[in-house]
Structure 1
Amino acid sequence: MKKSALAIVVLLVLIPAVFPLILKAYLAFVPGEMVGGVDGWLGFLGGYSGGFLAFISAYLIYRSDQKQKEKTTLLLRPSLLEATPTDASLIFTTLPVSEVESDSKGELHFKYRIFNATLKNVSENYASNVQLLLCLKSGKLEPWSYNKHVNRNIKYESIATLEANESRVFNIQISEDILATAEEFDFILKSRNMYGQEVVQKVRLHLHLEMKGYTFVHRT
């Protein structure tokens, strides 16, 4: 909306300055007698520029509204509800892949601290293929999750598909060796909208060690 307002202001400044110059150039360089008077042409140009400006303003506002509707916005917040650990937990660990895959009882879910979270789609667009990645110095870390149907941990590629205003409760679990490195952890929240566009959001998990609490802060 800010860009649209700036474009309208620029047009308001340019139109009164440019049209008189065009009229002067016409009088100076076009041969023959001018049809109508200067006042008449100025009145015509004023009415024409006013209508043109109104059209451009309406179009820019329309495009701004459309882009807002096309945008997908997810909100990640701490949850008072608890999800079932073995069904809805994202486990971030630096253990070797072989060791994580060999855990056939989902024991990692009982070893790491649990952060209850609610993910809500607060936009008018739907969000598919929602992913959460933990940003470490070594790179982006994908989560694991215990799948009781195959009785082993698998890479958790998608949290959910969320319709407008739909929410999902799940757990985030981070291994102790990662938690010991800092009090803030950055995540990348990815999703795809109905137009197939990938939307990337930045979220920071802030630990309140003294109060044993935590918050999620969305960043630009």
Structure 2
Amino acid sequence: MRFIPLIVIAILIPILTPLCINLYIAYVPGLKVGSIDGWLSYLGGYSGGILAFLSAYTLFYKQKSISDRCWITLNMLDISEHNEPRMAAIYSNSTINNFDFLNRSVKEWEPYGVAIVEIKNVSKNYAKNIRIELIGLDQRIEPLMHIENSDKIRKYAHISELEASANFKLALHIDPSIYKSNPELTLKITSQSIYNVSNSQNIKLRHIEDGFSLSLE
């Protein structure tokens, strides 16, 4: 939207300039400065300069917008080689009535698989307000969070903040009824930089026989 005034100006300049030249020649013949060819050459050079400026400005703005974003990656970890992380995200499309806080398990789901992922900020910007939601279903599912040794599960405005190149591990507990009917799920990762530039990334989470796999959408 911010480029629309510049585009309008760029279009109006070559349209209005010849009209102004014609009016100048018609009504101020005694004060004519330069030839018509000279003015047309000036118009061509001026229009070219304006277009070059708009192109450079557009490219600069797009590059700045990309560099001001945060980029988050998810890597699947081998659950046999890692203990369950301090934080767990629990995705369910129904109320959880029986959660085992000691063993961190939803009893009414058992048995079910758990995915452990490493979340890393690969940008040079501080990432705040990181959220991971399940989308592409009948409803968007925000996770309930459980922190180790806590006796509560609850929703938070965001799950973490990360400095540049920092990472943390997260356990994903997903209601089996979700991935049995939708073996390919989509995780939507949103984040915000300190420049208040938001970014959204979608990553495919596929349920396979022995667990889960991740891939970019």
**What's the TM-score, normalizing by structure 2?**
0.73
SS of equivalent residue, structure 1 residue 180: helix
Q: Which shifted more, 177-186 or 27-36?
A: 27-36
Q: Which one of the candidate residues 54, 57, 60 is aligned to 2:55?
A: 57
* Structure 1 residue aligned with 2:177: 177
Paired residues for 1:94-173 under 5 Å? 94=93, 96-100=95-99, 103-108=100-105, 111-135=111-135, 137-155=137-155, 157-173=157-173
Q: 1:29 to 1:149 in 2, by over 3 A?
A: farther
Q: 1:193 to 1:42 in 2, by over 3 A?
A: same
Counterpart-to-counterpart distance in 2, 1:64 and 1:112:
44
Tell me the CA shift for residue 74 of structure 1: 1.8
Q: Percent identity?
A: 24
* Structure 2 residue aligned with 1:93: 92
* 1:89-115 deviation digits (Å, cap 9, x = unpaired): 222235634433xx3323407853122
Contact 2:114–2:211 (8 Å) recurs in 1: no
Tell me the CA shift for residue 87 of structure 1: 1.0
Aligned-partner residue type, residue 173 of structure 1: H
* 1:150-194 deviation digits (Å, cap 9, x = unpaired): 334333553321223333332212132323222111222222221
* Structure 2 residue aligned with 1:190: 190
SS of equivalent residue, structure 1 residue 141: coil
Counterpart-to-counterpart distance in 2, 1:16 and 1:98:
68
Tell me the CA shift for residue 44 of structure 1: 2.6
Residue correspondences, number = 206
Contact 1:113–1:175 (8 Å) recurs in 2: no
Q: Which one of the candidate residues 53, 64, 67 is aligned to 2:65?
A: 67
Contact 2:85–2:169 (8 Å) recurs in 1: no
Contact 1:191–1:200 (8 Å) recurs in 2: yes
Tell me the CA shift for residue 128 of structure 1: 0.9
Counterpart-to-counterpart distance in 2, 1:57 and 1:173:
48
Stretches of structure 1 that go unaligned for 5 or more consecutive residues are none
Q: Which shifted more, 114-123 or 28-37?
A: 28-37
* Structure 1 residue aligned with 2:83: 84
Stretches of structure 2 that go unaligned for 5 or more consecutive residues are none
Tell me the CA shift for residue 27 of structure 1: 5.9
Contact 2:89–2:172 (8 Å) recurs in 1: yes
Counterpart-to-counterpart distance in 2, 1:64 and 1:107:
44
Contact 1:106–1:153 (8 Å) recurs in 2: no
**What's the TM-score, normalizing by structure 1?**
0.72
